[in-house]
Amino acid sequence: MKSFAIILFSLGSSLFAAAQPNVIVILADDLGWSDTTLYGNTAYYQTPNVAQLAQRGMTFTRAYSASPLCSPTRSALLTGQSPARTGITVPNCHVPQVVLQATTGKKAPPDQKAIMPDPVTRLKTEYRTIAETMKDAGYATAHFGKWHLGPEPYSPLQQGFDVDLPHTPGPGPAGTYVAPWKFPNFKEKSPGEHIEDRMAAEAVAWMEQQKDKPFYMNYWMFSVHAPFDAKKANIEKHRGRIDPKDAQRSPTYAAMIQSMDEAIGTLLDALDRLKLADNTIIIFTADNGGNMYNEVDGTTPTSNRPLRGGKATMFEGGTRVPGVIVWPGVAAAGSRSDAIIQSEDYYPTLLAGLALKPAEGQRFDGTSILPALKGDALADKAVFQYFPHNPGVPDWLLPAVSVHRGDWKLIRIFHGGEKGAHRHLLFNLRDDLGEKNNLATQKPELVSELDAMIEKFLADTKAVVPVPNPTFDLSKYHPELEGKQQPKAKAKAPAKGKDDGDPALQGWKARDCKASVKDGILRITNIGDACFLGFSAAKHSGPTTVKFRIKAKAGTSHFDWLANGTEGKAHRADFTLKSGDWEEMVIELPAQGPLGIVRLYLPMQESAIEIDWIELISKSGGKPTRTAF
């Protein structure tokens, strides 16, 4: 009998492993709480596939992002840890500087009461990600879409994912949603291809390959982050639906929402076709609230009403996001929950629901929300957002941290009060969803209780916090500007008859990088993901050969030209650097008519790129243009 029991147990374990559910995490970028039809706050945006998700699972009315900005939330979702612990508190993970430890800031302008900390710029590979846990449990893993947590060696391929497309570290969809894109190593398959159509198709193709094992897939959308463009036909469709009295009235943004929703539909249709829907967990959420500070179609991209504020603010519009979890057999189809949940909760929830154990010593700042998925309450649940920055967008606050517990929300503004004391905002969200009535002075005991929770949270996470500014000058302090969007500084126009670039560059202009010439060599440093050298080459016409001598790491990039100057679509020619040492590149441009503006895009790397010379030679004749630095 003992042997028989052992055989049964072994067989049961095998069956359980075979039945392990697949997991898909869909993370929309900058999608506001009021940007879908989930909560009855939009008549303009159409999201039938998001609605289909809700019909299959549980909709959370109080789902929160870990931060009002993207990279911090992405790190929290992957690690289950707060940005306060990881130190990733702003979306700067595409910059060339590698910073792995947050530090106390050194200075601030005299009109600021606090000094902001210096944040981390990469998600350290020492953190155990959900992808690594799933991979160790026998899952195939893949990441599709935006990453924004660091280039190699901090890319998805070093964080537990077998596949990463389009394998880019940048903050957006490489300049445009509609091809031709500017991804260094990822080309469109057809003219005018939309990036979400392509990402969804690639994700489905990958799912089709996973026949013998369960899979974990990130589909982290580029949508609906800037740049603001979409399929022209869809823009025109929504232009005819505008209600000028509605705060949501951008046809471009509505078209972007449509493409986002259609991509979700592509995934759902594939799950149904492959007969995987009944064995697949789907988490759908966003990295922060809707964008209220850019302009498109003569208005803001969206409106988060009835919530206050938006992306980059600590008010509800910045951190309350759509949330749906489809979990067959656990979450009732078509159900809703008002439980408070957050980005950090998804990792420990998946571990609990899949009977997987965390690694020894692994820390989570989130908690399992399985009880809520089963329809029960989450007793004494509280969530925190840590954002020690002041971005200067509408409804911005000074560096702050917040806690949600029950109906109450407390925001601590670091050193924002008198004589270096903290200042507090207290809101009852049940009665005041728009956060108009600060009750802090009326309920001092509740403020103290909730602020003690904040203090414990900061201590537990070992957060590097803002410190008082010793050079603060009260005469230069303007509290009336808090919450008001700060105007962008206008670039000074160059003096008449003078070039606005460095004369040593001889007409070439550097963008998203720094360029200097020394000893006849052009050195490119501080290289961003969209770094290029631009030049006016209108005198060159027709097929042209570009030659240049360069020293850079091996990789693929491209050279493009705008035949009509700054108008129209750019044409491009790719090239591959092989040696990591000096090499001479030759690129053929099949141009028709004047080249106009040409741009040499450079691969992102931490060390300097060096260029000896660049030469353009028109095959139709004429004098070559050779720039010998």
Find the CATH number of the domain harbouring 536: 2.60.120.260
The answer to whether residue 303 sits within a structural domain is yes
The answer to whether residue 619 sits within a structural domain is yes
The answer to whether residue 451 sits within a structural domain is no
Cβ-in-10-Å burial (0-12, 13-18, 19+) of 362 comes to middle
Residue-level pLDDT at 106: 92
The answer to whether residue 420 sits within a structural domain is no
Q: Are residues 28 and 165 in the same domain?
A: yes
Contact at 8 Å (CB) between 561 and 536? Answer: no
Residue 370: its H or E element: helix 370-373
Domain with 563, as residue range(s), is: 503-628
The closest alpha carbon to 70, from 84, 88, 95, 86, belongs to 88
pLDDT tens sequence across 163-214? 999 999 888 887 889 998 888 789 999 999 999 999 999 999 999 999 889 9
Task: Please compute Rg for the chain using Cα positions.
Answer: 26
Instruction: State which of 377, 410, 429 marks the end of a domain.
Output: 377
Strands (E), 395-553: 400-405, 408-413, 423-428, 467-468, 509-511, 514-518, 521-525, 532-536, 544-551
> Residue 320 gets which letter from DSSP?
E
The answer to whether residue 139 sits within a structural domain is yes
pLDDT tens sequence across 106-142? 999 999 999 999 999 999 999 999 999 999 999 999 9
Rounded CA separation 141/162 (Å): 5
Asked if residue 324 has a cis previous peptide bond (ω within 30° of 0), the answer is no
Cβ-in-10-Å burial (0-12, 13-18, 19+) of 495 comes to exposed
Per the rule left: phi > 0, alpha: psi between -120 and 50, beta: everything else, 175 is left
Number of DSSP helices (H) and strands (E) in the chain, helices first: 12, 26
Contact at 8 Å (CB) between 424 and 452? Answer: no
Number of domains in the chain: 2
The closest alpha carbon to 256, from 207, 291, 304, belongs to 291
Instruction: State which of 326, 345, 377 marks the end of a domain.
Output: 377
Question: Which stretches of the chain score pLDDT less than 70?
Answer: 1-18, 488-501, 563-569
The closest alpha carbon to 463, from 124, 101, 85, belongs to 85
Q: Are residues 335 and 201 in the same domain?
A: yes
Find the CATH number of the domain harbouring 40: 3.40.720.10
Rounded CA separation 159/157 (Å): 6
Q: Are residues 33 and 182 in the same domain?
A: yes
Q: Rounded to 5 degrees, what are φ and ψ at 53?
A: -55, -45
Rounded CA separation 498/511 (Å): 19
Instruction: State which of 377, 405, 434 marks the end of a domain.
Output: 377
Q: Are residues 371 and 507 in the same domain?
A: no
Tokens 């070992």 locate to 462
The answer to whether residue 100 sits within a structural domain is no
Global pTM value: 0.81
Residue-level pLDDT at 542: 86
The answer to whether residue 166 sits within a structural domain is yes
The answer to whether residue 433 sits within a structural domain is no
What is the sign of the dihedral through the CA atoms of 174, 180, 185 and 189?
positive
Q: Which two tokens stand for residue 353?
A: 């629901």
